[in-house]
């Protein structure tokens, strides 16, 4: 009788361990899928913001040169929608203007749009130019 009770107890614990293992595996799979989904959504958001920012700069680039002048950029920053856009990116428009001037390393009064977008995203990520 003692052996039979020992067998029942051992079997019960074995079954509970299997059920627990299946449950934990399901939770880990769900958490991993959720993390991948969150990363994918974040990437989509960043790409959307880049497209919007590129469109804003294309509109500001009046001569179509692919770069914008200090005057074009300062005019761009007067637009309330643009200010709000930068604030949604957690970027102060004054800091963005300072970044623009920092990118004008040759003193020409212009900055390349692609380079500017690159540095905007780096600043958002916490990397100093």
3-state secondary structure 71-129: HHHHHHCCCHHHHHHHHHCCCCHHHHHHHHHHHCCCCCCEEEHHHHHHHHHHHHCCCCC
How many Å apart are CA 94 and CA 18, to the nearest integer? 59
How many Å apart are CA 44 and CA 87, to the nearest integer? 19
Each of the 129 residues of the chain gets a pLDDT tens digit; together they read 888 899 999 999 999 999 999 989 888 888 887 878 788 888 888 888 888 888 888 888 877 888 888 888 888 888 888 888 888 888 888 888 888 888 777 778 888 888 888 888 777 776 555
How many Å apart are CA 109 and CA 127, to the nearest integer? 24
- What is this structure's pTM? 0.59
Is there a contact between 74 and 58 (Cβ–Cβ < 8 Å)? no
How many Å apart are CA 100 and CA 8, to the nearest integer? 74
């Amino acid at each position: 009788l003692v052996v039979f009770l020992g067998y029942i107890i051992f079997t019960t614990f074995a079954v509970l361990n299997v059920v627990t293992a299946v449950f934990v595996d399901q939770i880990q799979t769900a958490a991993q899928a959720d993390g991948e989904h969150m990363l994918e959504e974040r990437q989509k958001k960043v790409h959307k913001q880049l497209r919007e920012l590129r469109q804003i700069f294309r509109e500001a680039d009046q001569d179509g040169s692919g770069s914008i002048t200090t005057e074009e950029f300062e005019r761009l920053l007067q637009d309330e929608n643009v200010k709000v856009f930068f604030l949604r990116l957690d970027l102060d428009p004054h800091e963005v203007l300072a970044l623009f001037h920092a990118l004008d390393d040759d003193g020409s009064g212009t900055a390349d749009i692609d380079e500017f977008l690159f540095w905007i995203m780096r600043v958002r990520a916490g990397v100093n130019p």
